[in-house]
Amino acid sequence: MKTTTKLSWKSLVALTICLTMLLVSACSNQASEGSNEKDSSGAYKDKLKISVASTINLKDGELDNKFHQYWMDKFNLEWDYNYVEWDSWGEKLRLWINSGDLPDVAAWNYIHGDAMNYIDQGLLYKFPDDWKERWPNVAAAYSLTGLGDKLEELKGGTYILPRPVYYENKPADPLVNQIGVIALRKDWAEAVGFELKDVYTTSELMDYARLVKEQDPGKVGSSLVPISYNAADALTNIIMPNSEHARVESAFYKGEDGQYHWGPADQETLTGLQIMQQAYKEGLLNPEFYTWKNSEGSDNFRVSGTAAITSLGGLASYRQDVDKAMKKNLNVESDDVVHTAIVLGDDGKYRNLEQVNFWSALVFSPDISTEKFERIMDLLDYSTSKDGQMILNMGFEGEDWKYGDNNELVSLLPEGTSLEDKYPSRFEGLYLLGDDFSVINPAIKKDYRDRAVLHYQDKAKLGKEGGKLAPYDWDVQLYDSKSKNQATFDYEKEYANLILQSGDLEANWKKWVESKQSLVQPVLDELNNLK
């Protein structure tokens, strides 16, 4: 027999009051666990634990220093840090995003097709519509990327923060990719009678490598590596100077005829491959160069001292890293033995990519709480401000740096050291890349900064005066289709395989081009039919 219990109106009122009190208490507890309420001094009352993923490798204890503590105390947060190996960066983020396991915030090497799919599937956090008013410093830097505005047009909102390369210290106009700078042993060059210049053709560098191979001025014997490039370096410094459309970033391009073409099929790419194969056959490249990863190529130059040429890149900080490594490992002053230069094609023309002002991006978990998102954005906004940039890149005034008599920045760090030595893995800035501040950072030797700016300015000049700069084509970069996603190749591996094959290189290259046409041609057809 079913019994029904009737509640009096007094009981109903009492029950309602109890439920209300429970809800208020629950909400209060929830707020106390994760609110962004501040006290009278402007400090956050509640600590938040925020998960973050980056390619910066934090070792045990590296968060336990004044620099990291400053940021964690200022924003009352604790990092749950997730290190991502450089070689598995793209795949790890792809797995996390697709499985719904993305940390609260992560640095991601932006891939447009994936971004469109992630947004459509609700796998990335959608920013509030008024975010630019609330975090104006981030918004100002974001606006310089170009990509941010384009994505808003496509998706009607903000889901991704492209990371700006330059903000207030752009070194040249047009801005050209920082790749295509090499370092060579100038003491060895002087010993073999090789002229020091600011620019060299790919074949001139091979001539230098041959002289070093024949004479071994460094007396390193069988350990000698005349040209210490891995497969990516060889693409950057041998093939690319001869074919500006040989890289993935510019492989599909609009020619002078108004039609789209595929750069790896151009005769100029074959020229680069021929030079690269010649270097390999002559033993100027290491027999196993194509197996090297990360810094193995440059380590022969700066750690073991067995290389005559290595790929460097255009940032002053890279040059300073070489200086520190050579002092530590070889006990030599790099200024006495290192010369940097730009690489030209064999026809004497400069080729490169016009640099769009972003590299990689920040993405947020779609499940991130409002409180965590706002706390991260508060940190990003401060890190992008003038004061934040000074602390992020210079450390603490009076301790790590000061203003000089003419109000110039003066580093107080021991000579030859950087902020990274004192405070390892300074990832808190997260957003604006360090390239921008490296132009003015006094902790980097002025000669290195001046030389880096000179290389940028020479690139811009050479690019405008008869050079071949591949423009950043937004139509191509933002075009997404199944065909385009399928026509994605690991060019550095493809090119290495080509030059290692037996038989005639040109014939092998033509067969390779033909083998890719089933994937490439549909993309060309689609691009050529764009309105």
Q: What are the extents of the domains in the chain?
A: 48-162+360-432, 181-355+455-528
Q: What is the pTM of this model?
A: 0.81
Q: For the chain, what's the residue count?
A: 531
CB of 187 within 8 A of CB of 336? yes
The SS3 of residue 295 is coil
Q: Measure the CA–CA gap between 205 and 226, rounded to whole angstroms.
A: 10
How are the residues of the chain apportioned to helix, strand and coil, as percentages rounded to the nearest 5? 50, 15, 40
Residues whose CB is less than 8 angstroms from the CB of residue 62 and which lie 6 or more positions away in sequence, other chains included: 68, 424, 425
The SS3 of residue 363 is strand
The domains spanning 48-162+360-432 and 181-355+455-528 adopt the same CATH topology: yes
Give the C-alpha distances (Å, rounded to integers) separating 471 from 109, 191, 235, 352.
20, 40, 19, 9
CB of 374 within 8 A of CB of 36? yes
Residue 405 bridge partners (DSSP): none
The reply to whether omega before 174 is within 30° of 0 (cis) is yes
CB of 151 within 8 A of CB of 344? no
Q: Measure the CA–CA gap between 119 and 180, rounded to whole angstroms.
A: 35
| Strand 105-108, strand 361-364: pairing | antiparallel
Give the C-alpha distances (Å, rounded to integers) separating 345 from 243, 300, 425.
8, 25, 37
- Give the pLDDT of residue 86: 84
CA angle 309–315–317, rounded 5-degree value? 95
DSSP assignments along 316-335, one per residue: HHHHHHHHHHHHHHH---HH
CA angle 280–281–284, rounded 5-degree value? 50
Two tokens at 182? 């090499």
- Give the pLDDT of residue 17: 42
The SS3 of residue 503 is coil
Distance of CA 223 to the CA centre of its chain: 32
Residue 305 bridge partners (DSSP): none
Domain 48-162+360-432: which CATH number of 3.90.1150.10, 3.30.930.10, 3.90.76.10, 3.40.190.10: 3.40.190.10
Strands ordered across the beta sheet of 307-311: 199-201, 338-344, 181-185, 307-311, 225-228
Instruction: Find tokens 């978990």 and name the residue.
Output: 365
CA nearest to 492, candidates 292, 203, 262: 292
* One-letter amino acid for residue 433 of the chain: L
**Alpha-carbon Rg for the chain in angstroms:** 27
Alpha-helical regions (H) of 216-285: 231-234, 267-281
Residues of the chain with pLDDT under 50: 1-32
- Give the pLDDT of residue 511: 98
Q: Measure the CA–CA gap between 423 and 67, rounded to whole angstroms.
A: 6
Residues whose CB is less than 8 angstroms from the CB of residue 24 and which lie 6 or more positions away in sequence, other chains included: none
- Give the pLDDT of residue 375: 97
CB of 10 within 8 A of CB of 40? no
Domain 181-355+455-528: which CATH number of 3.40.190.10, 3.10.129.10, 3.40.50.970, 3.40.50.2300: 3.40.190.10
E runs forming strands in 303-424: 307-311, 338-344, 351-353, 361-364, 401-403, 409-411
CA nearest to 217, candidates 310, 341, 337: 337
